[in-house]
Amino acid sequence: MKSKIILMVIELIVFCCVLYFLTVNFLTKTTAGFNVSLDGNGYVVLSTFCVLILGYILGLFSGSLYSLVLGARYKDQLEFYARKNEKLAQQNEIDSDDREALQRKIASLEIALDNALKNK
């Protein structure tokens, strides 16, 4: 549980730093020299803001796809363990009912033994 909290705090700090960096670069209109050649003849200069937004969006979508793939991969295992847990719960309930029935039989036999000893 502690590791999840620490990971969430780190992610929040990184997100805030990136957001701050994006805001500063957007307000100052600086370019970091990201020259992209589209057809080989000319270059398009992208601002740092655009590059970071594109990277953030690509990371967001790739992370979402990765979690969907893992979710589909482990869905069968989760269903298997859910069925196994349900079977164990049913078996525990049956065992509990059998134990209660045996306790009632023992109690009735004790009463019958006491009556038999008193009438002797």
Residue-wise pLDDT tens digits, 8-41: 888 888 888 877 877 776 666 665 556 666 666 7
**Cα 47 from chain centroid (whole Å):** 36
pTM over 0.75: no
The SS3 call for residue 2 is helix
Residues 103-117 have pLDDT tens digits of 899 989 888 888 888
AA identity, residue 117: L
Q: Which residue has the tokens 């298997």?
A: 80
